[in-house]
C-alpha cells in the first residue's frame, strides 16, 4: 500500500511539474508572439494580443510593460503614461517603467518630471546605463532652458550663446530621441 501511495504521489508530482512547464512555455510563447508583432510594427495587432492576455492575467508586469511600449508606438502617449505610472506604483522595484515614463515626459517637454522618473530608475537600479544616458539628455535640455532664460533676462551676456550652441550641437540627436526600454523587464514572481 505504501509503494502504491508513493508511486501515486510521484506521478502526481510529475503531472504538476509538467503542467507548470507547459504553462510557462505557453506564457513565454505569448511574450515572444507579442514581441515579434511589435518588431514587425504591427502595433494594433500586438495591442489586441496584450489586452486579451491581460484579461486573464491583469497583474502581469511584463505584459503590462509591453502594453505601454505598444501604446507609445501607437501615439497614445497619455495611455502609455498611465500604464507606466501604474507599473511604477505596483512594481516600484522595476527600473524600466520609470525610464520609459521619463521618455514620455521628456517628449512632452516635462523635463522635471522626466528627471524625477529617471532618478527613481537609477535609485532602483544603479547600474542602468540607459537611464543615466537619458538623465544626461534631460539635464542638457534643462541647461538649454536655463541658458535661454539667462539670455531673455540679459541679452547682452556674451558667455551664454556659445554654451547654448554647444548644447544644441552635442546633444541634438539624443535629445530628439531619448532611449526607451523596448523589451519587457525580467521579473521574478
Q: Residue 67 sits in a domain of what CATH number?
A: 1.25.40
* 13 domain residue, yes or no: no
173 and 123 together in one domain: yes
Local confidence band at 35 (pLDDT 50, 70, 90 cut-offs): confident
Of 24-28, 96-100, 151-155, which gets the smallest average pLDDT?
24-28
Local confidence band at 169 (pLDDT 50, 70, 90 cut-offs): confident
Number of domains in the chain: 2
* 80 domain residue, yes or no: yes
The domain boundary residue, chosen from 36, 60, 91: 91
* 131 domain residue, yes or no: yes
35 and 74 together in one domain: yes
Q: Are 84 and 105 in contact, with CB atoms under 8 Å apart?
A: no
DSSP symbol at 128: -
Torsion of CA 86, 98, 122, 164, to 10 degrees: -150
Q: What is the reported pLDDT for 91?
A: 96
Q: Are 63 and 184 in contact, with CB atoms under 8 Å apart?
A: yes
Averaged pLDDT of the chain: 83
pLDDT 10s digits, 55-109: 999 999 999 999 999 999 999 999 999 999 999 999 999 999 999 999 999 999 9
* 57 domain residue, yes or no: yes
* 130 domain residue, yes or no: yes
R_g of the chain computed on alpha carbons = 23
Domain of residue 147 covers 110-181
* 104 domain residue, yes or no: no
38 and 85 together in one domain: yes
114 and 176 together in one domain: yes
* 96 domain residue, yes or no: no
68 and 37 together in one domain: yes
The domain boundary residue, chosen from 91, 120, 135: 91
Q: What is the reported pLDDT for 29?
A: 82
- Region of 154 on the Ramachandran plot (φ > 0 left; ψ -120 to 50 alpha; else beta): beta
**Of 29, 49, 28, 24, whose CA–CA distance to 38 is shortest?**
49
Q: Is the pLDDT of residue 182 over 80?
A: no
pLDDT 10s digits, 7-16: 545 554 555 6
Q: Are 66 and 57 in contact, with CB atoms under 8 Å apart?
A: no
177 and 114 together in one domain: yes
* 156 domain residue, yes or no: yes
Residue with the larger pLDDT of the pair 22 and 155: 155
The domain boundary residue, chosen from 47, 64, 91: 91
Q: What is the reported pLDDT for 184?
A: 39
Amino acid at each position: 500500500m505504501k509503494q502504491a501511495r508513493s508511486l501515486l504521489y510521484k506521478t502526481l508530482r510529475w503531472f504538476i511539474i509538467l503542467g507548470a512547464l507547459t504553462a510557462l512555455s505557453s506564457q513565454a510563447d505569448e511574450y515572444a508572439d507579442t514581441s515579434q508583432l511589435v518588431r514587425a510594427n504591427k502595433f494594433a495587432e500586438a495591442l489586441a494580443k496584450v489586452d486579451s492576455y491581460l484579461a486573464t492575467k491583469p497583474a502581469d508586469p511584463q505584459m503590462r510593460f509591453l502594453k505601454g511600449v505598444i501604446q507609445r508606438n501607437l501615439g497614445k502617449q497619455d495611455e502609455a503614461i498611465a500604464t507606466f505610472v501604474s507599473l511604477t506604483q505596483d512594481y516600484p522595484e522595476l527600473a524600466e517603467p520609470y525610464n520609459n515614463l521619463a521618455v514620455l515626459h521628456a517628449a512632452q517637454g516635462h523635463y522635471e518630471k522626466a528627471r524625477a522618473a529617471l532618478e527613481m530608475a537609477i535609485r532602483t537600479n544603479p547600474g542602468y546605463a540607459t537611464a543615466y544616458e537619458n538623465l544626461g539628455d534631460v539635464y542638457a535640455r534643462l541647461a538649454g532652458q536655463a541658458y535661454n532664460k539667462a539670455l531673455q533676462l540679459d541679452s547682452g551676456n556674451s558667455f551664454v550663446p556659445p554654451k547654448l550652441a554647444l548644447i544644441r550641437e552635442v546633444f541634438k540627436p539624443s535629445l530628439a530621441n531619448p532611449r526607451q526600454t523596448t523589451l519587457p523587464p525580467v521579473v521574478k514572481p
